[in-house]
């Protein structure tokens, strides 16, 4: 069996917002993040997503979360897959829904919201907001600037406490 090699995450932070923001009107929509369930997978059509989220959901080491708006919890805006590494959270995959990608996207802020949530999980677990992920090499500088992430070595990056708390403050009200 041929092993698939991952080359790092390639999400772009389009804008850090208070929640998610309509690209045309500027209207802000409150969001919720919750665990993706088997029932939710009926909405996840393979042709609409770059990654195989069904496979990700089956991996018991990982937790998959969905981002929805408060007023429309049935429409998935984006997904993130994380793993508890006992001293930090590792972000395996992150993806905006098809309609939130490219120049004609519906909402700004989806990737930032999902990264902030991974940081929040890390804080809630007592890891001080530390998360790690592998980035595509072309996006390392982008993550350093937009997320204040630190390049460790190779493709590995991490977000430490002060940067994590900054992201959490953007998306989650205390």
Non-local CB neighbours of 144 within 8 Å, separated by 6+ positions: 150, 151, 157
Range of the domain at 134: 20-171
48 lies in a domain?
yes
The strand order across the sheet containing 28-29 reads: 28-29, 20-22, 107-108
111 lies in a domain?
yes
Mean pLDDT value across residues 49-59: 93
9 lies in a domain?
no
72 lies in a domain?
yes
101 lies in a domain?
yes
pLDDT for 161-171, tens place per residue? Answer: 999 999 999 88
125 lies in a domain?
yes
5 lies in a domain?
no
pLDDT recorded at residue 7 = 60
Query: How far apart (Å, rounded) are the C-alpha atoms in residues 24 and 108?
Result: 10
For the chain, what is the domain count?
1
Residues found in the chain = 174
**Residues 86, 75 contacting (CB under 8 angstroms):** no
pLDDT recorded at residue 137 = 86
Kindly give the residue spans of alpha helices, DSSP state H, lying in the chain: 53-58, 110-124, 140-146, 161-171
pLDDT recorded at residue 11 = 59
6 lies in a domain?
no
For residue 84, the domain's CATH number is: 3.40.630.30
pLDDT at residue 160 above 90? Answer: yes
């Amino acid at each position: 069996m041929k092993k698939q090699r991952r080359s790092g995450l390639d999400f772009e932070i389009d804008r850090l917002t208070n929640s998610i923001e309509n690209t045309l009107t500027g209207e802000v929509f409150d969001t919720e993040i919750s665990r993706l369930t088997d029932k939710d997978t009926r909405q996840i059509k393979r042709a609409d997503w770059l990654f195989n989220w069904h496979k990700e959901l089956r991996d018991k080491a990982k937790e998959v979360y969905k981002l929805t708006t408060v007023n429309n919890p049935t429409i998935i805006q984006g997904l993130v897959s994380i793993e508890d590494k006992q001293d930090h959270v590792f972000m395996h995959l992150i993806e905006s829904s098809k309609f939130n990608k490219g120049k004609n996207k519906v909402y700004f802020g989806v990737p930032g919201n999902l990264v902030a949530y991974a940081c929040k999980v890390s804080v809630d677990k007592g890891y001080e907001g530390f998360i790690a992920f592998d980035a595509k090499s072309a996006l390392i500088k982008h993550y350093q600037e937009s997320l204040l992430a630190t390049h460790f070595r190779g493709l590995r990056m991490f977000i430490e406490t002060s940067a994590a708390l900054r992201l959490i403050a953007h998306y989650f009200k205390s």
